[in-house]
Chains A and B, each alone.
Chain A
C-alpha cells in the first residue's frame, strides 16, 4: 500500500528582514530585553536632540556669524584670496584623485570634500552675495583638476612640486605683498582666524614630516651624541602637553631670539610649537616603521654595494614610511583636533571663534544664550573633517594590508 510520507517542513529562511531582526536583535531573552531598553533610551535621546535642533534651538546667531567662523577678521573684500587658495587645494586634490582613479582613497576623500564644497556653493549662490561666484569656482577648480588627472596620468610626477608651489604661493597670497589698499595688500596675521587659521596651523604637519624622519633616523643612529640628542628632544617634547608648549613658545620664543615680542606674530610662535611637537610624535611613528623593516633588507643593500645614505633613502625609508602611513594619518587627525588649543596664545581659530560668538551682545539677548547651538555646530564641523580622515586612514590600512600580514 502506498503511504505518503509526511511533507518535510519548509526550510528555515536564512535571509530577509525577519531573520536579520531575529539574529541581530532578538536572539535570546536577554538580547530582547537589551534591545527594548537601549532602543527606548536611544529613541528618547534622538527625539530630544531632534526637538532641540528643529524647534528649541535658535540658529540665527550661528548663521549670522558665518564669516567670523570661516575667516574671522580677514577683510571682506579680500575673501577671494583664501578662496583662491581653496581652489588651488581642490584642484591639486582633484588631480591626485584623478590620477588615483575612481574608487581610490584619494578619490573618495576628494569627493567627500567636493560634496562639502558643493553644499557651500549652493548656500553661497543663494545667500552670500560677496562670495556668490567664488565658491562655485572652487567647485569647478576641483573638477578641472580631477579631469586633468584622469586624462593625463603623468601629472603624478608634477604633483609634489605643485604642492610646494601651492604652499608658498598660498602663504604669500594670504598675507599679501604690497602695502596700501590694493588687491594684494598686506593683511596682518592677527586678522587671520576662524577655520582658515585652523587649516593654516594644520599645515604644520608638512614641515614636521622631514623633521620627524630626521629625528627618527637620528634616534637610530650609531653615533651617541646625535642619538642622545634626538632621544632627549623626542622624550621631553612628548612628555608635556601641547598646550604647555604653545604657552611656553609664546613666552620664550621672543626671549630666545632676543627680539621684540610684537615682531614675532603669535601665529608664527604657535606654528613653531605645533611643528616641533608634531615632529616629535612623527619621529616615534617613523621609528616604529624603521623597526618593522627586516634587518636583511639593509644588509642586502649594503652587500649590493649601496652606500649608507643610499641604503637609508632607497631601501629602508620607503618601506618604513609605507608601513606607518595609517599611523601618520592618525597623527594628522590628532593635530587637526589639537589646533583648537591655540586659544591659549590669543589666536582665534575655529573653536575660539565659536567662543566669541557666544559672548556677542546679540547672543546674550537670546534666552539662555546660544552656547549649545554654537558648540554643536563647531563640533559637527570638526567631526566631519576628522571622521573623513579616519575613514581614509582605515581604507589605507586595508589597502596596505597592515595588520593582516
Chain B
C-alpha cells in the first residue's frame, strides 16, 4: 500500500492574479463601459429629439394615417390610424411570406431533383437556373420582374389572358374566382364546430388505440375523413333552405354600373355582403374611343377597348362605329381582335378587304386614328354578380341604347363623356328605347363562388392580386428556390448510397425508392436549412418598395417619414422582425425534435 506523496505546498495565488477575480473585474468594467456608452447615446438621442421636436413615444399610432394602400387584406381606408396601417403592412408581409414559401418550396424541390437527373439536358438546365439566379441581387430581380416584365406585360386590363378556371391575367394583376361566406354561413358554423370536435376526439382515440395495441399505423385519415363527412353533410343541411332573405332588394343603376344589395330591417338598410344577384339589361350600349397605346415594346395604335364582356353573357352583341356615315366617309374599318372587347380601327389602304399590319397608323400624322367612337350594342345581357363585403355591386357602365339626343344630353353631366362629333350624330340618328335593367337576388347556401369580372377598368369580385404583389412574390419565389434547390440536392446526395441500393434490391421501383426511402431520409437533412431559407424569404420581402407593394417595412418607412417618429418606428420594426425570427426558430426547433433520429 502506497500513500500518495504529500502535495507540494503552493504559494497562494495573489488576489489580483486569480482568474476568477480578473473575470469579475473584466465583466464589471465591460458592463460599466456598455452602460456608459448607452447612457451617452440615450442622452444624445433625447437632446436631439427635443431639439428637433420629434415624437419619442407611441402616442402617434392613434392618429389618422392618410396613407393610401392599394392592397389590404383587412378593411382599411385612408382615414384609419397609423396602427391600423402598420397592421395592414404586417398582414401584407405575411401574405407574401405564406404564398412565397409554398411556391419556393415546390420550385426548389423541382430544380433540386432536376439537378440530380440522369438526363444531361435537364441537369444542365437546373444547374444554370441555380447558378444564374442566386448570383444576381434580389433587388435587381424584383425590379426586373416588376418594371421590365410585368408592368409592360402586353395584355392590358380590358384584354386579359383568360386562364382555365376563370382566372384573368393582365398588366394590372391576376384575378381568380374565390369562395366567400354568405349571410347564411352562420347556419353552417355549428356543423363545422362539431366536425372539428369530432376530428380531435377521433385523433385522440386513434392514437390511444394504436399505442394500446402497440402497432404502427397512420392517424391522419381518420380525423380527416370524419371532418370532411360532417362538414359536407352540414353544408347540405345548411343550404337546404336557399330562400332569399325577406326584404332583400337591390338598388341598381345601370347607367352608373353600380348597385347595392340590402335588406330592410326595422326601417334601416342593412347591406347584404357576398350575395349573388342576376343583373339583366335588355338593350344597352357600351361606348369606347380608339386610343394609341404602347404595349410592352410595341405600339398599338387606334385600339378600342371595352370592358370585358364574354359572348356567352348576351343574346346579341354587335360592335359598330358610333357614326357609321362619318366612318364610311373617312374610310375607317373595324378589325376585331378579341370579340367583343378589343378591336382596332384601320383604313384599308391596300384595298384587300382585310386588316394588315401598319394600316392602323395614319401615314400622314404618324400616329393612329385617335378618338373614333365605337359602340357595343348589347341585347339581353345577363350576368350573375356577387356583391362585395359592403354589399356593393359593379357592372359595366351602360348607356341607353341610343336614346333621343335631348335625354342623352341631360343624362350626361358636363365633362363626363367626351362625345365626338360622330357620337352626337349617331345618337340623333337612331331612335331606340331607354335603358331597361332588371335585377334578381338569388338564393344561396353558406358559401358562394364569386367570379372575377372587369366592370370598367379594374378587377371586381373574386380574389385579385395586384401586379406589384405578383412581381414581388415571383422574384422572391424564384430567388429563394435557387437556394432551396441546392439544399434539396445536398440533402438527397447525403442519403447513404446503400439505402437506395437496398431499396432497389428489395424490388422497389425507382419511384418508390425515391419517395419512400430516399426522400424521407433526405427531409431530415433538408428541413432545418430550408426553414432558415423561409425566414430569409420573409425578411427579403422588405424589398417590396422596389415593386411598389406596401408591406410592413414600406408602411413603416412612410409612417416614419410622415411623423418623424424614428425611434418608436425603429423599435417597432426590430420587434416585429425579431418576433418573426423567433416564430421561425420555434418551428425549426419543433421540426428538429420531431425529425431527430430516434436512437436506440
The chain A residues found within 8 Å of chain B, CB to CB, are 24-25, 27, 31, 34-35, 38-39, 42, 56, 222-226, 229, 235-236, 238-241, 243-244, 247-248, 251-252, 254-258, 333, 337-338, 340-341, 343-344, 351, 354-355, 358, 367-369, 371-372, 375-376, 378-379, 382-383, 386-387, 390
Contacts and interface: CB of A to CB of B under 8 A. Distances in A.
17 contacts: A24-B119, A24-B120, A35-B121, A229-B30, A235-B578, A240-B578, A241-B540, A241-B577, A243-B542, A247-B553, A251-B560, A251-B566, A341-B139, A341-B543, A351-B140, A368-B298, A386-B135
A252 B41 CA distance: 10
Counting from the closest, the 6 A-B pairs by CB-CB distance are A368-B297, A24-B120, A258-B44, A386-B135, A240-B577, A337-B137
B30 A337 contact: no
A367 B294 contact: yes
Nearest to B490: A403
B67 interface: no
Contacts of B120: 24-25
A187 B206 CA distance: 75
Contact of B299 (A223, A337, A367): A367
Interface in B534-568: 539-540, 542-543, 545, 553, 557, 560, 566-567
Contacts of A255: 44-45, 48-49, 566-567
A383 B543 contact: no
Given A258-B47, A369-B152, A223 B23 contact: yes
A344 B299 CA distance: 34
B411 interface: no
A38 B125 contact: yes
Interface of B: 23, 26-28, 30-31, 34, 41, 43-45, 47-49, 117-122, 125, 131-132, 135-141, 143-144, 147-149, 152, 294, 296-299, 539-540, 542-543, 545, 553, 557, 560, 566-567, 570, 573-574, 577-578, 580-582
B179 to A, nearest CB: 34
Nearest to B34: A229
Given A24-B120, A382-B137, A368 B294 contact: yes
A355 B140 CA distance: 10
A378 B540 CA distance: 20
B573 A248 contact: yes
Contacts of B545: 344
A241 B578 CA distance: 10
B136 A239 contact: no
Given A239-B577, A243-B543, A244-B553, A251 B570 contact: yes
B573 A244 contact: yes
B158 to A, nearest CB: 19
Contact of B578 (A39, A239, A256, A355): A239
Nearest to A378: B140
A340 B135 contact: no
A378 to B, nearest CB: 6
Given A225-B27, A375-B144, A252 B566 contact: yes
B386 to A, nearest CB: 37
A248 B147 contact: no
Given A42-B121, A337-B138, A224 B27 contact: yes
A241 B553 contact: yes
Nearest to A403: B490
Given A344-B545, A367-B294, A375-B144, A256 B44 contact: yes
B573 A368 contact: no
Nearest to B23: A223
Nearest to A45: B125
B135 A333 contact: yes
Nearest to B576: A240
Contact of A226 (B30, B141, B294, B539): B30
A38 B122 CA distance: 7
Given A333-B135, A340-B140, A341-B543, A240 B574 contact: yes
B137 A351 contact: yes
Nearest to A247: B557
Given A24-B119, A229-B30, A252-B567, A240 B136 contact: no
B121 A371 contact: no
A386 B131 CA distance: 10
Given A367-B297, A375-B148, A382-B135, A236 B45 contact: no
Contact of B577 (A35, A56, A244, A383): A244
A340 B148 CA distance: 18
Nearest to A369: B152
Nearest to B136: A379
A254 B139 CA distance: 27
Nearest to A336: B137
Given A31-B119, A355-B143, 7 more contacts: A27-B118, A223-B26, A239-B582, A240-B573, A244-B542, A337-B136, A367-B297
A386 B138 CA distance: 13
Contacts of A368: 152, 294, 296-298
A25 B132 contact: no
Contacts of B41: 256
A56 B47 contact: no
A38 B44 contact: no
A225 B31 CA distance: 7
Contact of B48 (A25, A31, A258): A258
B275 to A, nearest CB: 43
Contacts of B566: 248, 251-252, 255
Contacts of A344: 545, 557
Contacts of A39: 121
Contact of B581 (A239, A355, A367): A239
A355 B546 CA distance: 10
Nearest to B28: A225
B136 A386 contact: yes
B119 A25 contact: yes
Nearest to B145: A375
Which among B31, B135, B149, B560 has the highest number of chain A CB atoms within 10 Å? B135
A31 B136 contact: no
Contacts of B48: 254-255, 258
A358 B147 CA distance: 10
Contacts of B580: 239
Contacts of B296: 368
A375 B140 contact: yes
A31 B118 CA distance: 8
Contacts of B137: 337-338, 340, 351, 382
A364 B578 CA distance: 42
B94 to A, nearest CB: 15
A375 B119 contact: no
Contacts of B141: 379
B180 to A, nearest CB: 34
A382 B136 contact: yes
Contact of B23 (A222, A257, A382): A222
B574 A383 contact: no
Contacts of A358: 147
B140 A387 contact: no
Contacts of B34: 229
A211 to B, nearest CB: 15
B57 to A, nearest CB: 15
B49 A383 contact: no
B90 to A, nearest CB: 14
A358 B152 CA distance: 14
Contacts of B23: 222-223
